[in-house]
Structure 1
Amino acid sequence: MRDFIIRLFMLLSVPLVAFYSSANPKIEQKFVAITAIVEHPALDNVRKGVEDELKDNGYINGENLKLQFASAQGSSANAAQIAKQFAASKPDVIVGIATPSSQALVATTKLIPIVFTAVTDPVAAKLTSSWEASKTNVTGVSDALSLDSQIDMMLKIKPDAKNIGYVYSPSEVNSTIILKQLQDELEKRGMKIIAAPAQRTSDISTAARSLKGKVDLIYTTTDNNVVSAYEALAKVANESKIPLIASNPESAERGAIAALGMSYYDLGRQAGKIVIRILNGEKPGDIPPQVGNITQLTINKKAAERQGVTLSEDILKSAAKIVEK
């Protein structure tokens, strides 16, 4: 009887052990790599949006998600090196923040899913061949804005503006595209653009000073060199009493009078949704590129005072956020 009980226990214990193992499998971990051309408030908000979207959908870093980030520190050479390192580590998805980093990724791998974001024109940047689903490993979210609404905002700040200054980096595709488009749109309204190229971040102040006495206001986009040195640009605008207008809300907090543009945090959330779709099994080539869908107007009243502008009640009422510093 004793031997029977022992044998019975041994037989029962095998399926019990097997059942315990199958009920507690090792948690599958996804791997998402993120790279940005440089770190500044707008691009940092994009990254935070991606990370928050992942977290809110159950992807927890250190548990079922491995999250890796690398900044190229404003260097295209660094961006290329990071792209190679990421491709070698074979993540499930790579997120490219801004055009140079996204271009480096696309040039490096044709297999690993890539989600670009904070890219104005992915077609001109040769990330995708069209705005249709690419059937490649690439998709993402653009931060393209209506230039008509940007010009309308300029005229609300400076109704008699005719000459628009444009400080930009000639090596950044986004900026050169917008320069041409803005030139065409301004001509339709009897206005013109005066460009001031600044190849390096250290050239921003000099480029801005070259516009003194020539322009009625300065307009800036999300040019990464310019945004990285925005306080220096704002200092020149304050000293020269030239109204400074931007296309990303974060710049209004750093010295622009007004900024009508994408919420870069929400742009990141939107890109994060695409990342999740890919992690859940969709192919990036089946997902058409999108355009950011949340814009906001931010006004900086103190910057207006420093740059000699009186803001109308109409534009103050239309602002989603008013900064007073």
Structure 2
Amino acid sequence: MLVDWFTVGAQTLNFLILVWLLKRFLYRPILDAIDSREKKIAATLAGADMKKAEALEERDDYVRKNAEFEQQRAVLMQDSIEEAKKQGQTLMDEARKLADALSEKRRSALQQEQQAIRADISRMTREEVFAISRKVLSDLAGIELEARMVEVFTKKLASLDEPLKTFTDAFTHNHTLKISHDSVLVRSTFELTAEQKGAIQEILHKLVSDANKPSDFSIRFETTQALISGIEMIANGRKIVWSINDYVDTLEKSVSALWTDAPDAKMSTHTMDAVSGSQVPGSQLSGSQISEKSVADNPIAGKSE
């Protein structure tokens, strides 16, 4: 086989020229493009890494801030819960105090109302009891009882000391009493007999004379139902009275005074004992107590009008 060295050389030269041309116009731009692309990719990766680092930093910062926020939120929530509990407890205490105050006020009002009702019932009971007592005593009073009272009255009259002295002072010469036919007024429930009137006139003149007082006076007799049963003598504002009505009035005043002094508008055991154990005082003369005898003792007492 024959070798054409010229052709081989020409082909080799052509190949070398082709290689140079490829390198110059093809490979170099491609390599440059690849290098440029690699640089861009490297720059992009570097930027991505930087952004990733920044993102990681921001994430860490966010996580830290989020943790701080959660911590603050938990603290604020706990404080809010405690404050709400305190406020709730305060409101509950205030509401309880207000409810207790209203309950106490209502209880006090009910107690006062009950006391007022008890006081009214007691007052009405006392009034009815004494009204019935007056009615019964008035129904029992009669001429025979009146006669007996006149008899006892004339006997008891002389036993009075201070009331009699005060009564007879009305008959002094320098007293303002003007001696007339109405010098002395004697009142009784029933009409007195002439004998009873004479007995009263005799004992009264005797007592006034014994007291060294002027006895030139007359006596006028009247009847009145206000006494229920009894006798009343009046001379110039001085009065000596002995009657069942006077006893009832005195007892009623004593019971009313004891009831008024008793606490909580009701009588205590001590007060009830005082009422049951006390003796009915007699009438009074110028505010001074004359005697403390029961009704059965038939006391005579003087009063000043």
- The alignment's TM-score, normalised by the length of structure 1, stands at 0.30
Structure having the higher Rg: 2
**Going by fraction, where is helix more abundant, 1 or 2?**
2
Larger RCO (alpha carbons 8 Å, 6+ apart):
1
